[in-house]
Chain A
C-alpha cells in the first residue's frame, strides 16, 4: 500500500472534491432566491448548524496555519485554541438569541442588516459591510493560500505534477470552491460544511493517535526533547511569551462573536431553542478537530530539534509534511481531504458573506434598496471576490512571505475589533448608540490597518488586533454612556427585553 501512497491521497482528495461539486449541483435546485442564497431560508436543523459553525471556525488557518505556528513558535498559538470554550460561550450567551430574533422580524440576511436593524443607521450598515469586505479579502486569501499549499504538497509527490506551480494550484483549488459556492450559495456551503465537519472530526482524532506514536514515548518524549532544547516552546506561553499569548486569548475568546461568517450561521437555525443543542455539539466537534493543531505542530518541532527530521522549507509545510511522511497512506488520504474540508468550509462562508456585503448591504445603504436580480449579482460577486482574493493570496506569499496562521490572525482581528462592541455589546445594551458604533468600527480599522501598513512592531509581541479591539470597546461604551439615550424601534426594543 505504501507504494501507492500518492495515488491514494490524490484519489481521496478527488473523491472529496467530487462530493463538493455534487452538493453544489444539488443545492442549486434548492436555491430559488437571494434569501436562500444567503441564509438558507432560516430553516436548518441543529446538527447542520453546529457542524457549520465549528467547521467555519476551524479553517485552513487552524488546520494548516495552526501546526505551522506551533512548529515555528511552540505553544504560543494554543491560546487561540484553548479559548474556544469561552469564545463559543460569548457567541451563544450574547448574540445567538437576539440575532435570530432580528433575522425573523426584520428578514435580515447579513450582519450589516442586523446592525442597521439595531442602530437604524445606514452609515453603520455601510461601515460594517466595508469591514466585512476588507476582512473577507484577507481571510479568504488565507484559505486560498492554504488550499494551494496543501494541493502543491500532494501533487509534487507525483511524477506527473512534480513541478506544478503554486499559481496553478491556486487556480485548480479555487475553481472547485467557486463552482459549488456560485451554484448553491449558502445551502451548498452549509451542507458541504456537514460533510467537511465530519471529515475534520475523523481527521483530528486519527491524527492525534498517529502523532502520539511517532516517538516511542509518545507526547512525553516529545515534551522531553523540547525541554532539553530550551524548553520555553513547550511551556504554556511558547517562544513568543506571556503577553503575546494572553492578548491572543483576549482577541480569540471575546472576538468569536464578532466573526460574521460564524454569527451569520446563528441566523439560519430553525428554532431558537435549538441553541442549547448546537452549542455542545459545536464545542465537541471543535475540540476533536483542533487536536490536529497541537499534535502535528509539536511532533514536527520535536522531530527537527531532536535531529530526527529535516527542517521544513516553510512552517506552513508542517501538516502536509507530517501526513506525507508519517501517516498511513489511507489515513493520509482521509486527513488531506480533511485539510481541504477545513479550508473550504471557511472559504465558502467568506465568499457568501462577502457577496452579501457587496451586492446586498452596500447598495442598500447607498441607494436605499437592493439590486434588481440579486441572485444573479450574488453569483457574479462570488466569482469576483474569489479571483481578487487569489491574487491577494499570491501577492502576500511571494512579496511578504506571510504565514497562513498570521494572515488568518489578522483577518480574525479585523472582524473582532470592529464588530464585537457593535454586535456583542450592542445587542445586549439598549443605550448603545449609532455614533458609538461608527466610531468603534472606524477606530478599529485605523489601528489594525495602520499597524499593518506601517509595519509597527509592538513590544512583547502584543497583538495589534487586541489593541484595536480594546480601544474600540472602550470608545464604544464611553461614547454611548455620554450620549442621550434614544428610543429604539418598537420591535427591537421588545426583543432587547427578552
Chain B
C-alpha cells in the first residue's frame, strides 16, 4: 500500500466514526448550554452525560486523525529517500503524539469520574497535557524537517536537479525568443 491508500483508508474511518456520532441522539447540552445569567457565555453542563451516547468515539476519532496526519506528512518525502532512520523518526514522533493524546483523554475521563483534578503549570492536568503536550508532540515533526532537511526534504541532488531544470527552461525560452526575433 502506498501513502495515498493509507490516507484514503484513514479518511474513510474518520467518515465512519463521524457518521456513527451523527446518527446517535445527542443528549441535552451536547454542545454546551447558554449560561443561566450571563449573556454571550456558554456553560458546559454535565461532561459525562454529554459523552454517554457516543462513548469513546472521540478518543478513536483523534487517534485516526493523528495517523492520517502522519500519512500525509510521509507523502512529502519521496519514496527513494525514505530509509529506516526516516521511519524510526516518524514512528517515534507518532508514538509520542498518540501517548500525549491518551494522557489528555484519560485525564479528562478521570476528572469526569471523580470530579477532581490537580493543577499543574496553572491548569488542570489534562488541560496542561492538551496545551503543551499536543502542541509539543507535533513540534517533533517540525524538528525532523529542520534537522533532516537535506536528508529527506531537499537534498543537494534535488537542488542540483532543480537548478538544471531551470537552466534548461531558460535556454528554451532564450532560443524561442531568438527565433521570434529572427
Chain A interface residues toward B at CB < 8 A: 71-75, 78-79, 81-86, 88-90, 92-94, 97, 101, 104-105, 212, 218-220, 222-224, 227, 230-244, 246, 249-250, 253-254, 272-273, 275-276, 279-280, 283, 287, 294, 301, 304-305, 311-315, 424-425, 428-429, 431, 458-462, 467, 470, 473-474, 477-478, 481, 491, 494-495, 497-498
Contacts and interface: CB of A to CB of B under 8 A. Distances in A.
A93 B76 contact: yes
A470 B22 CA distance: 14
A305 B44 CA distance: 13
A223 B120 CA distance: 10
Nearest to B44: A232
Contact of B14 (A222, A470, A477): A470
B73 A94 contact: yes
Which 4 residue pairs of A and B lie closest in terms of their CB atoms, listed nearest first?
A232-B44, A219-B122, A461-B31, A85-B138
B145 A84 contact: no
Contact of A498 (B12, B45, B107, B161): B161
Given A86-B141, A89-B73, A280-B142, A462 B43 contact: no
Contact of A429 (B4, B43, B47, B61): B4
A212, A461, A474, A498, most chain B CB atoms within 10 A: A498
A279 B145 contact: yes
A223 B126 CA distance: 12
Contacts of B40: 71-72, 311-315
A241 B108 contact: no
A283 B72 contact: no
Interface string B123-139: 11011011100111111
Contacts of A474: 8, 11-12, 15
Contacts of B8: 474, 477-478, 481
A492 to B, nearest CB: 10
Interface string B25-56: 01000111000001111111101001100100
A73 B43 CA distance: 7
B21 interface: yes
Given A83-B138, A240-B42, A459 B161 contact: no
B67 interface: no
A73 B139 CA distance: 27
27 contacts: A82-B135, A86-B69, A93-B76, A93-B145, A105-B165, A232-B32, A232-B43, A232-B45, A233-B43, A234-B123, A234-B127, A241-B30, A250-B14, A253-B69, A254-B69, A272-B154, A276-B149, A311-B40, A425-B75, A428-B75, A431-B4, A459-B21, A459-B22, A459-B26, A470-B11, A470-B15, A498-B162
B127 A235 contact: yes
Contacts of A461: 30-32
A491 B146 contact: no
A232, A275, A429, most chain B CB atoms within 10 A: A232
What interface size band does chain B fall in? Answer: 35 or more
Interface of B: 4, 7-8, 11-12, 14-15, 18, 21-22, 24, 26, 30-32, 38-45, 47, 50-51, 54, 58, 61-62, 65, 68-69, 72-73, 75-78, 104, 107-108, 111, 115, 117, 119, 121-124, 126-127, 129-131, 134-139, 141-142, 145-146, 149, 153-154, 158-159, 161-162, 165-166, 169
Contact of B42 (A72, A78, A497): A72
Given A243-B61, A283-B142, 17 more contacts: A92-B142, A105-B169, A232-B43, A233-B44, A240-B42, A246-B58, A253-B69, A272-B154, A273-B149, A275-B154, A305-B38, A431-B4, A459-B22, A459-B30, A461-B30, A473-B7, A474-B8
A247 B11 CA distance: 13
A422 to B, nearest CB: 14
B42 A73 contact: yes
Nearest to B149: A276
Contact of B30 (A231, A460, A467, A481): A460
A230 B78 CA distance: 50
A238 B22 CA distance: 20
Contacts of B130: 75, 78-79, 82, 236
B165 A283 contact: no
A153 to B, nearest CB: 16
A374 B9 CA distance: 45
Contacts of A246: 58, 61-62, 65
Contact of A242 (B24, B42, B51): B51
Contacts of A458: 22
Nearest to A271: B159
A233 B4 CA distance: 38
B32, B50, B165, B169, most chain A CB atoms within 10 A: B32
Nearest to B97: A86
B133 to A, nearest CB: 9
A239 B42 contact: yes
A411 to B, nearest CB: 21
A93 B153 contact: yes
Contact of A92 (B47, B77, B145): B145
B111 A235 contact: yes
Contacts of A82: 130-131, 134-135
Contacts of B30: 241, 459-461
Given A97-B153, A311-B39, A478-B8, A89 B138 contact: yes
B131 A473 contact: no
Contacts of A233: 43-44
A481 B11 CA distance: 15
A477 B11 CA distance: 10
A182 to B, nearest CB: 33
A447 to B, nearest CB: 13
B149 A71 contact: no
B10 to A, nearest CB: 10
B122 A223 contact: yes
